[in-house]
């Protein structure tokens, strides 16, 4: 490519679309491709079908070429949204995980993430998802308390000076704040501020608002099409609290 183009491939590859003739000529010279085949490859019109069995073998060959203690991890984000209600996609995922498991003997792990707990997805489509549960025996769930911590650290983190000022505000108004956010009866899990540190970490929000907003998002998703675009809770909460804090 450098001989034909005059520039190095590393410098030119980001703008490869401008060097079609040079790339086609390079493919013909280096790989012995015909001009039409090289042109089709460049334009993305070459169709290459990869079966699950073939992909499994290619992954195994790669793992076998590595040191004995080598491990490979595939992370699949938002698998619930990708699969949706398509049973074929679910079966493909199941088949792929089974193939990787049988071929690679535990050296390759597949981790799937989703905004909803897998149990919640299974309730909606129990027959389909029950078949794949056994393929993912290790499950890690982020609860609403985890979302609270993320919001506090990513959105509500204050400077040391601001934390001291807020703690002093709480100390001065302790009794007023405790009375203002005191609940009883059926809503005992709805809590206000328990300490000056908690007030500083959550300000300008109140701890019970994290629980309340999570339940609101859950109900919106269950009823009507307007909430189907909402992710499964934690991400929606992050976005919601960020927008509220900015305004």
Residue range 127-148, pLDDT digits in tens: 555 666 666 677 776 655 567 7
Lowest mean pLDDT among 1-5, 103-107, 205-209: 205-209
SS3 111: strand
Summary mean pLDDT of the chain: 79
Three-class DSSP labels, 1-12? CHHHHCCCHHHH
Residue 227 has a pLDDT of 47
Lowest mean pLDDT among 1-5, 74-78, 107-111, 222-226: 222-226
Confidence bin at 109 (pLDDT 50/70/90): very high
What is d(CA 86, CA 52) in angstroms, rounded to the nearest whole number? 18
List, as own/partner pairs, every contact residues 68-73 make where C-beta atoms lie below 8 angstroms and the sequence separation is at least 24, other chains included. Answer: 70/107, 71/107, 71/108, 71/109, 72/104, 72/107, 72/108, 72/109, 73/108, 73/109, 73/110, 73/111
Select the highest-mean-pLDDT range: 120-124, 130-134, 176-180, 198-202.
Answer: 198-202
- Whether the predicted pLDDT of 229 surpasses 50: no
Lowest mean pLDDT among 35-39, 190-194, 208-212, 232-236: 232-236
Phi, psi of 135 (to 5 degrees): -80, -20
Cβ-contact 183, 190 below 8 angstroms: yes
Cβ-contact 205, 228 below 8 angstroms: no
Cβ-contact 236, 146 below 8 angstroms: no
CA 211: distance to chain centroid?
22
Residue range 80-105, pLDDT digits in tens: 777 766 777 878 888 888 899 888 88
What is d(CA 80, CA 103) in angstroms, rounded to the nearest whole number? 25
Residue range 24-66, pLDDT digits in tens: 999 999 999 898 888 888 887 555 667 888 888 999 999 999 9
pTM score, two decimals? Answer: 0.48
Residue 47 has a pLDDT of 59
Cβ-contact 234, 115 below 8 angstroms: yes
Lowest mean pLDDT among 98-112, 136-150, 176-190, 217-231: 217-231
Which residues lie across from 13 on neighbouring strands?
A: none
Residue predicted with more confidence, 133 or 108: 108
What average pLDDT does this structure show over 164-189? 79
Residue 105 has a pLDDT of 86
- Whether the predicted pLDDT of 172 surpasses 50: yes
- Whether the predicted pLDDT of 121 surpasses 60: no
What is d(CA 170, CA 68) in angstroms, rounded to the nearest whole number? 58
């Amino acid at each position: 490519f450098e001989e034909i183009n005059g520039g190095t491939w590393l410098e030119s590859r980001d703008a490869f679309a401008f060097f079609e003739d040079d790339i086609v000529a390079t493919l013909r010279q280096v790989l012995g491709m015909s001009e039409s085949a090289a042109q089709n490859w460049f334009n993305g019109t070459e169709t290459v079908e990869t079966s699950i069995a073939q992909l499994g073998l290619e992954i195994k060959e790669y793992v076998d070429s590595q040191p004995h203690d080598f491990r490979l991890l595939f992370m699949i984000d938002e698998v619930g949204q990708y699969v949706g209600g398509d049973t074929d996609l679910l079966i493909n995922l199941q088949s792929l995980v089974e193939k990787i498991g049988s071929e690679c003997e535990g050296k390759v792990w597949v981790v799937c993430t989703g905004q909803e707990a897998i149990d919640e997805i299974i309730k909606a489509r129990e027959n389909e998802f029950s078949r794949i549960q056994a393929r993912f025996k290790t499950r890690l769930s982020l609860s609403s308390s985890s979302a609270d911590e993320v919001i506090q650290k990513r959105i509500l983190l204050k400077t040391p000076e601001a934390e001291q000022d807020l703690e002093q505000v709480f100390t001065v108004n302790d009794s007023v704040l405790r009375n203002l956010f005191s609940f009883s009866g059926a809503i005992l899990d709805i809590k206000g501020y328990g300490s000056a540190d908690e007030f500083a970490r959550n300000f300008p929000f109140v701890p019970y608002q994290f629980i309340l907003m999570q339940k609101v998002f859950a109900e919106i998703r269950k009823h009507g099409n307007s909430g189907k675009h909402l992710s499964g809770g934690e991400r929606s909460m992050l976005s919601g609290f960020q927008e509220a804090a900015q305004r």
